[in-house]
Amino acid sequence: MENQNQGTPNPQQVNQQFNQHFGQSFGQQQLPNSTAVLVLGIVSIVGCFCYGLIGLILGIIALVLASKANTMLEQNPGIYSEASVKNLKAGKICAIIGTSISAVYFVVLIIYFMVFGAAIFSMWGNLMNQY
């Protein structure tokens, strides 16, 4: 015979089994700013082509919000819905990608203007020396 008395089940395991079975998360909260992190992360990827500055700013904001939400998630992992946690993770990945591309684009743009400015200044100096 099998042992029927296996002790009391863990409430978090029961909640996860219930959620898997019924496909709903009753009593779970949305992770604060998870949707905002996702939106800002996506917009930071799109905004990286606006001279890199807009994407860089929005990506940094998204990463700060994701860090705060991640701290809240670590403190109370069982009370937040799985969908909001997935939004947070996807938004954080998009923010990292957008921030990286924007930073590279911004640095390349600065180098371009430095080289272009040096070339213009050099030509202007040569013109002034002729007269």
Q: Is the pLDDT of residue 23 over 50?
A: no
Q: Which residues contact 73 (CB under 8 A, 6 or more apart)?
A: 31, 80, 85, 88
pLDDT at 130 > cutoff 70? yes
Q: What are phi and psi of 104, to 5 degrees?
A: -65, -45
Tell me if 98 sits within 8 A of 59, measured CB to CB. yes
| Arithmetic mean of pLDDT, 95-108 | 95
pLDDT confidence bin for 17, thresholds 50/70/90: low
pTM above 0.75, yes or no: no
With bands split at pLDDT 50, 70 and 90, how would you rate the model's confidence at 93?
Answer: very high
Residue 41 has pLDDT above 80, yes or no: yes
Domain ranges of the chain: 31-105
User: Mean pLDDT in the chain?
Assistant: 84
Q: Which pLDDT belongs to residue 54?
A: 93
